[in-house]
A and B are shown apart, each in its own frame.
Chain A
Amino acid sequence: MMTYTVTVTVRLKRGVLDPEAETTKRALERLGFELEALRSADRFEVDLDADSASAAADRADEMAERLLANPTIHDYNVEVEGEDPE
Chain B
Amino acid sequence: MRTRNDDGFRGYDTNCRFPPQEVVAVTVAVVQFGGSNCDRDAVRALSHLGVDAERVWHEDGLPEDTEGIVVPGGFSYGDYLRAGAMAAHSPIMNAVRDAAADGVPVLGVCNGAQIGCEAGLTPGAFTTNASARFQCEYVHLRIENADTPWTAAYDEGEIVSVPIAHGEGRFEIANDRYDDLVADDRVLFRYCDADGNVTDDANPNGSKGNVAGILGQRETVAVLMPHPERASLPDLNRSVDGRGILQVFG
Interface residues of A (CB under 8 A from B): 16-20, 22-23, 66-68, 70, 72-73
Contacts and interface: CB of A to CB of B under 8 A. Distances in A.
A72 B129 contact: no
A66 B174 CA distance: 19
Is the contact region of chain B dominated by helix, strand, or loop, or is it mixed?
loop
B128 A72 contact: no
Contacts of B170: 17
Nearest to B177: A72
A72 B131 contact: no
B23 interface: no
A19 B172 contact: no
Nearest to A72: B125
Given A19-B132, A22-B132, A73-B125, A67 B206 contact: no
Given A17-B130, A67-B89, 6 more contacts: A16-B172, A19-B130, A19-B131, A19-B206, A20-B128, A72-B123
A19 B128 contact: yes
B89 A73 contact: no
A67 B129 CA distance: 21
Interface size class of B (residues with CB under 8 A): 20 to 34
8 contacts: A17-B130, A19-B132, A19-B206, A67-B81, A68-B81, A70-B85, A70-B125, A72-B123
Contacts of A23: 132
Task: Give the top 8 A-B pairs by smallest Cβ distance, nearest first.
Answer: A19-B132, A72-B125, A23-B132, A19-B128, A73-B125, A73-B172, A70-B125, A19-B130
Nearest to B128: A19
Nearest to A66: B89
Given A67-B85, A67-B89, A72 B132 contact: no
A79 to B, nearest CB: 20
Contacts of A66: 89
A72 B124 contact: yes
